[in-house]
Structure 1
Amino acid sequence: MESEMSTESLRSRVVAALDGDEWTLDDGTTAALRVGLPDRTLIVERRDGPEGGRRWSLTLRADGATVSKFGPFESVVALVERVATLQNATVRYTVCCDG
């Protein structure tokens, strides 16, 4: 089952999808994979799904804050496509205050 793939297999799929050379990978964290980019971090995590399956979530962080969360992804293909899209997408978020 695709959602049961190993971290190493996930790592190789993400590496193949990333453009350029301004990124780092860290899979020694509690997350399944952390992609470090100059202005953002993408965090891939495995989640338990129904009937013992796995699902994947993706968090976009910028300036130390969570900007967006995506998922759950049932397909690693869809997850990797989103990682590739977010690598070069404009990071937009709203800062709100009490006032």
Structure 2
Amino acid sequence: MSVDLNLSSVTPEDWTRYDCVFQLYGVKEDIVTKLEKDQIRTNEVNPSDMTVLVTAAVVVVALTLISAAGFIVYKRKKAPDNGVELSEQLNPET
């Protein structure tokens, strides 16, 4: 079971004023739990953590693309221009 509970408007000094009350089917007594910030479990991702992950992924992709483009340019400059010689080797009559 899960619940969305937005406590952003509750000031720290008011936390002790609230209780979580669970009413379960088949259980005669309510389960009452004091609202304590350090006891709340969450699976939310902190927006700043997500920003770091997205930024890191973008940087890795950008570096990969830049490296690939640099490698292609390097190979093209390094390769000798044998277009005419290769053509003559393939077609000696021309």
| Band of TM-score, shorter chain | under 0.3
Q: TM (normalized to structure 2)?
A: 0.23
Higher relative contact order (CA 8 A, sep 6+): 1
**Structure whose CA Rg is larger:** 2
Q: Which has the higher strand share?
A: 1
Higher helix share: 2
Question: What's the TM-score once normalised by structure 1's chain length?
Answer: 0.22
